[in-house]
Amino acid sequence: MKVNDVTTYEEDGRVAVVTVDSPPVNALSNAVRQGIAAAVEKAMADDAVGAVVLICEGRTFFAGADITEFGKPQVEPSLRNLQKIVENATKPIVAAIHGTALGGGLELALVAHYRVAVPSAKCGLPEVKLGLLPGAGGTQRLPRVVGVQKALEMVTSGNPISAREALSMGLLDALAEEGGLRAAAVAFANKVLDEGLPLLKVRDRTEKLEEARANPGIFDEFRKANARQFRGFLAPEYNIRCIETAVSDLPFEDALVRERALFDELMKDSQSAAQRHVFFAERQAAKVDDISADTPTLPIAKVGVIGAGTMGGGIAMNFLNVGIPVTIVETAQAGLDRGLGIIRSNYETTAKKGRLKPEDVETRMGLLTGSLDLGDLADCDLVIEAVFEQIDVKTDVFARLDAVAKPGAILATNTSYLDVDEIAAATKRPESVLGLHFFSPANVMKLLEIVRTKDTAPEVVATAVKLSKTIGKIGVTVGNGFGFVGNRILAARNTQADALILEGATPQDVDRVLYDFGFPMGHFQMRDLVGLDVGWDRNKTSSSTVREILNEMGRHGQKSKAGYYDYDENRKQTPSPVAAKVIEDFAVRQGIARRAVSDDEIRDRILYAMVNEGARILDEGIAARSSDVDIVWITGYGWPRYRGGPMFWADLEGPAKVLETLNALRAAHGDDFTPSPLIERLAAEGKAFKDA
């Protein structure tokens, strides 16, 4: 029988089976919690029922609290009150898990008396990824079943563990056969009844806390070992404190109160708001407004890559990793051998680190074919060009590719800045052409800018969006314009960073401010890492910028042990007196008076210039929504997740303040800071970018 819209109740002999069906992920919404509470109460009241199985329909067990209900009024029972009903039930309750038992979902399973799962299931507490901690006893119960070290790892990484690992640790009591979960859970409940097994409560178990009680240093060791990863984030530290509380002598109920207080603090903080924004923004990015979800996609069974350089090799690896064969084409054997060699050595390094099985290296390399003939791409469903960043080279490649590629094949360019319409015009099938802009290293970075031109067909865009998921990327669909979204905002940052060092800041000053803001590295450190000579032409260089001069001196960045910084044998950087002199002399030649530049000025000029450029991009329709701009900068350029992206950050500052600051910067530093019309409009209407 139906208990409510999302919950059904059936009796299977002595066992009441409570089934929740609330797509897409059975989040613990108001309706779900009410349904479970009513069903459990019914089972307790029925003398014919001896035990309860709690199970979900659809793709997964409860994936957590319903994030969309955060901040809205709580309807009873709260998750914690529901947990009390389950934990204190007078008849055994068995949680039957498939898919992912996450967050509040796992916390609910942890108050059941027993847990059964299929082998493909996963269990985890991912709240840290939302800037939170498990606020329903997860930090108190998890260490009691998996031990303190493992619990610390799970709550601070947010990564789930497999059912087999969960079974070996005692988080699960039994595994069921795939497809046979309900029957296995009912059989388990009958066994509990037959054998008179007790109503086990995780909260009563303390044996797995003893090791940490004997070694309280474990927490600081853990903090130290992960300091780099946790830098800037509040939530990992709060999660650790909760687990410290679990091993303290605070009574269990008081520990729950403390956990809740820390949860509430995080919930109110802008970091969690930012991280929740990013969660939804990532999912939103997969939706393209004018392309419906049922747009047909083209099958991609074989991929071609043109150019086996820095990008081509990394791009190829994405497809090999998911079992899609790749043919990679170069102009000369030496370049091809070098490119293939680098791909192999990348895989071998991963295997040496234990992150890939040695046989998988061979399987992946077995899917890769090298060639010097574009004609070998005739049977590819998708070809991605990654040759030199020169328009005549690209148009020549596309004209020749058009002549050999099969009808309907998608032809993509990995260009960083060039006009994709112009590249498409070199073919007779502009509807099949788009940009697929990967980020370096292309096998690692999550971002894929999908650049649609005025002619790109909807099914070609839909295929690219789907493909990005297949290869584990976050695809953001953008319009065609100089630098698309990411590099155009980077160009705005470049302009300010270059000006700041001429006016008196040092590269280290600029880098420190960005690092302290939360970027993994500073602006000039990033340039040195990528290579100052990327895009530099030794035949055309004319000492017209500091960067050109450094290149002319052979200072190409880390690879030549000299750039804006000096580097030693171990790539350790130190401020460079040589670069400092180059900068000072150049400023003198340009007639720029050097002065003290404050950290606040560095921060404002760089960040507001980026926000202003982001606003122009939105105004021009190059990005569809402000959250897409945020995702590009978080996943492609290291904008700190806990600051939600440049446009989210600007929304926190507020449109009026953004406008006021831009006007002040314009008065002091010129028209680079002329506020975009969108910012003027938002400030006038009191709206935020997220509503634009």
User: Which residues make up the interface to ligand 3HC (CB under 6 A)?
Assistant: 24-25, 27, 60, 63-68, 79, 100, 102-104, 107, 126-127, 130, 132, 134-136, 138, 283
SS3 letters for 440-486? Answer: CCCCCCCEEEEEECCCCCHHHHHHHHHHHHHCCCEEEEEECCCCCCH
Q: Which does 388 bind (CB under 5 to 8 A by kind): ligand 3HC, ligand NAI, none?
A: ligand NAI
Closest CB to ligand 3HC among residues 134, 143: 134
Pairing of strands 410-413, 382-385: parallel
Binding to ligand NAI, residues 578-607 (CB under 6 A): none
- Closest distance between ligand NAI and the C-beta of residue 370, in Å? 11
Closest CB to ligand 3HC among residues 133, 611: 133
Query: H or E element: which one contains 571?
Result: none
Q: Say if residue 517 is exposed, middle or buried (CB neighbours under 10 Å; 0-12, 13-18, 19+).
A: middle
Burial code (b: 16+ CB inside 10 Å, e: under 16) for 598-613 equals eeebbebbbbbbbbbb
Binding to ligand NAI, residues 522-551 (CB under 6 A): 530, 534
Closest CB to ligand NAI among residues 586, 639: 639
Q: Which of 423, 472, 421 is nearest to 306 (CA)?
A: 423
Catalytic positions, please? 107, 127
Residue where the block lists tokens 């802008």? 270
Closest CB to ligand 3HC among residues 512, 690: 690
Q: Which of 441, 428, 435 is nearest to 402 (CA)?
A: 428
- Closest distance between ligand NAI and the C-beta of residue 532, in Å? 12
| Whole-angstrom distance, CA of residue 122 vs CA of residue 59 | 12
The tokens of 34 are what?
A: 């009410």
Q: Which does 65 bind (CB under 5 to 8 A by kind): ligand NAI, ligand 3HC, none?
A: ligand 3HC
Q: Which of 64, 60, 53, 63 is nearest to 8 (CA)?
A: 53
Binding to ligand NAI, residues 288-327 (CB under 6 A): 306-312
Closest CB to ligand NAI among residues 34, 414: 414
| Whole-angstrom distance, CA of residue 484 vs CA of residue 449 | 8
- Closest distance between ligand 3HC and the C-beta of residue 61, in Å? 9
Closest CB to ligand NAI among residues 175, 336: 336
329 forms part of the interface with ligand NAI (CB under 6 A)? yes
List the x/- string, 249-288, binding to ligand NAI by CB under 6 A: ----------------------------------------
Task: Report whether 245 contacts 134 (CB < 8 A).
Answer: no
List the x/- string, 335-354, binding to ligand NAI by CB under 6 A: x-------------------
| Whole-angstrom distance, CA of residue 617 vs CA of residue 484 | 8
| Whole-angstrom distance, CA of residue 206 vs CA of residue 210 | 7
Q: Which does 308 bind (CB under 5 to 8 A by kind): ligand NAI, ligand 3HC, none?
A: ligand NAI
- Closest distance between ligand 3HC and the C-beta of residue 478, in Å? 20
List the x/- string, 421-450, binding to ligand NAI by CB under 6 A: -----------------xxx----------
The tokens of 572 are what?
A: 């350790």
List the x/- string, 105-144, binding to ligand NAI by CB under 6 A: ----------------------------------------
Q: Which of 619, 677, 686 is nearest to 655 (CA)?
A: 686
* Ramachandran assignment for 115, one of left (phi > 0), alpha (psi -120 to 50 degrees), beta (any other): beta
Residues in the chain: 692
The tokens of 594 are what?
A: 């050097």
* Ramachandran assignment for 406, one of left (phi > 0), alpha (psi -120 to 50 degrees), beta (any other): beta
Binding to ligand NAI, residues 354-413 (CB under 6 A): 386-389, 393, 397
CA angle 107, 113, 116 (to 5 degrees): 80
- Closest distance between ligand NAI and the C-beta of residue 399, in Å? 11
Closest CB to ligand NAI among residues 534, 664: 534
Q: Which does 566 bind (CB under 5 to 8 A by kind): ligand NAI, ligand 3HC, none?
A: none
Closest CB to ligand 3HC among residues 241, 603: 241
Closest CB to ligand NAI among residues 200, 342: 342
Task: Report whether 579 contacts 555 (CB < 8 A).
Answer: yes
Sign of the Cα torsion 220, 223, 227, 233 reads negative
> Taking CB positions, which residue lies at the least distance from ligand NAI?
309
Neighbours of 674 (CB within 10 A): 15
458 forms part of the interface with ligand NAI (CB under 6 A)? no
Task: Report whether 659 contacts 645 (CB < 8 A).
Answer: no
Task: Output the CA–CA distances (angstroms, integers) from residue 82 to 10, 91, 310, 564, in the order listed.
Answer: 20, 15, 54, 59
Q: Which does 435 bind (CB under 5 to 8 A by kind): ligand 3HC, ligand NAI, none?
A: none
Q: Which does 309 bind (CB under 5 to 8 A by kind): ligand 3HC, ligand NAI, none?
A: ligand NAI
- Closest distance between ligand NAI and the C-beta of residue 480, in Å? 15
CA angle 582, 585, 586 (to 5 degrees): 80
- Please select the residue that binds ligand NAI; options are 415, 463, 558, 612, rule is CB under 6 A: 415
Q: Which does 213 bind (CB under 5 to 8 A by kind): ligand NAI, ligand 3HC, none?
A: none
- Closest distance between ligand 3HC and the C-beta of residue 263, in Å? 7
Total residues binding ligand NAI (CB under 6 A): 25
First to last CA, the chain: 46
Closest CB to ligand 3HC among residues 283, 581: 283
Nearby residues of 479 by Cβ (< 8 Å), 6 or more positions away: 451, 452, 620, 621, 622, 623
Task: Report whether 385 contacts 411 (CB < 8 A).
Answer: yes
Q: Which does 102 bind (CB under 5 to 8 A by kind): ligand NAI, ligand 3HC, none?
A: ligand 3HC
- Closest distance between ligand NAI and the C-beta of residue 335, in Å? 4
Q: Which does 306 bind (CB under 5 to 8 A by kind): ligand 3HC, ligand NAI, none?
A: ligand NAI
- Closest distance between ligand NAI and the C-beta of residue 419, in Å? 12
- Closest distance between ligand 3HC and the C-beta of residue 68, in Å? 5
Q: Which does 414 bind (CB under 5 to 8 A by kind): ligand NAI, ligand 3HC, none?
A: ligand NAI
Nearby residues of 660 by Cβ (< 8 Å), 6 or more positions away: none
- Closest distance between ligand 3HC and the C-beta of residue 255, in Å? 15
Query: H or E element: which one contains 162?
Result: strand 161-162
Sign of the Cα torsion 319, 321, 325, 326 reads positive
The tokens of 197 are what?
A: 């097994």
Q: Which does 100 bind (CB under 5 to 8 A by kind): ligand 3HC, ligand NAI, none?
A: ligand 3HC
Q: Which chain residues interact with ligand NAI by CB under 6 A?
A: 306-312, 329-331, 335, 386-389, 393, 397, 414-416, 438-440, 530, 534
